[in-house]
Amino acid sequence: MSDIFYNSSSPFISVLASLLGVLLGFFLNNLSRRGRIKIFQNDISIYFLESDEYGGYIPKKEITDKTVSVSVKMNLDLYNTSSYSRKIARDIKMKFKGEHGTSFSNLNNLNNINLLPNELMNLSISFGVNVNLDEIKNSPWEFVYYNEKNKLVKVKINKEQLFAENK
């Protein structure tokens, strides 16, 4: 009796192993097609601007009573890690969390980025802030955007690199 069961179960085991192989292949293929946008900080410069008597601005190294705004210039690399699909970044902003709430700064007409598979894009952005200057200097900074699935993505900016050149 056991020989009959053994001989008849062999095709079922083969079919089951084939189905498991197809499912595993499908899962691994979908996993390899996924990717994300990786962001690397290259160069970041910050300028504290004071107004002079002629209506211009003088860059300074520290915030004083005469400081009217902060100007930040950043150079970032954005890389799409997917080998098969495009990645999108929409509604790109800088986010500052402080004692008085969260504030955002738009990035000079930068709204959307569309990256092809395995594409590397160098991005130079600049923005200015003219309210709550001490709070913005001491608060955490994030580069935020919505991805192609309409999910909010937050990338923390290294502040030690921001203020190291001003010391």
* Model confidence pLDDT, tens digit, residues 41-84: 888 888 888 888 887 888 887 777 778 888 888 889 999 998 88
Q: Report, as ranges of residue numbers, the positions in the chain whose pLDDT lies below 50.
A: 1, 166-167
Contact 44, 73 (CB under 8 A): yes
In the chain, where the domains are located: 1-33, 35-164
pLDDT for res 3? 58
Taking alpha carbons only, the member of 160, 153, 155 closest to residue 137 is 160
- Reply yes or no on domain 35-164 having CATH 2.60.40: yes
Residue 163, classed as helix, strand or coil, is helix
d(Cα 58, Cα 35) in Å, to the nearest integer? 44
Does the model's pTM come out above 0.85? no
